[in-house]
Amino acid sequence: MAAEEDPEVHLGQLKRFSLRELQVATDGFCNKNILGRGGFGKVYKGRLADGSLVAVKRLKEERTPGGELQFQTEVEMISMAVHRNLLRLRGFCMTPTERLLVYPYMANGSVASRLRDRAPAEPPLDWQTRRRIALGSARGLSYLHDHCDPKIIHRDVKAANILLDEDFEAVVGDFGLAKLMDYKDTHVTTAVRGTIGHIAPEYLSTGKSSEKTDVFGYGITLLELITGQRAFDLACLANDDDVMLLDWADS
């Protein structure tokens, strides 16, 4: 059990949570607390012992020799990216079988949910708010590219990864996770990570990412903001419409 919660591991000012703390906070990672799921794993809403609400990301992962040190290194890198428009990492949990990241809970969900899955009582995003979201997310990405050392390439910029705080300020989430998950991939080829409809063509064909990869994803996100449509929607096939939002915009 000592290896499960090693008190000697400290990453800057991050809090190291015990697995038990996060199990209690999320009611045992109960399905009713799932906020979302994606290529990196599931995200659960939780309430800590002090009453604060958090989002707990439970990473998909296979056990890999040497993975613990790489995980610590990358988590520390993520924690040093502090900006108004970036989702700040609050803490982490690491056991022989689990990797979890703890973030503040964003009250207004993601841009994607506000565009397409809002409750009947929730008003649509007005154009001024959409403009603020576009500018805020651009500032966050610019910080990752120009002010982090080493620079952080997001590799999955999309409306679902841009969250909204209580003031509807854009907060870019999931940055650093692509790099964080790569330590279990081969050292020769880095896995292409991203979402269909948002992946830059050159990244898909070569596996090499850069700031331009994120700029492409940001451009698709702007189309989502303007139209409210999904970047990739198979339902459009029924009407012989373009399934890719980019193809529709080009037509």
Residue from 166, 249, 155 nearest 208 by CA: 155
> Is 156 an annotated catalytic residue?
yes
- CA torsion, ordered 179, 34, 224, 245, to nearest 10 deg: 80
Beta-carbon count within 10 A of 35 CB: 17
How far is residue 141's CA from residue 18's CA, in Å, rounded to a whole number? 31
φ/ψ (deg, to 5) at 226: -75, -45
How far is residue 34's CA from residue 43's CA, in Å, rounded to a whole number? 6
Q: Which of 6, 117, 126, 156 is catalytic?
A: 156
Residue from 53, 49, 56, 103 nearest 78 by CA: 103
Is 15 one of the annotated binding-site residues? no
Residue from 243, 199, 224, 78 nearest 137 by CA: 224
Binding site residues, as ranges? 57
Which are the catalytic amino acids?
Answer: 156
Binding site residues for ATP, as ranges? 57
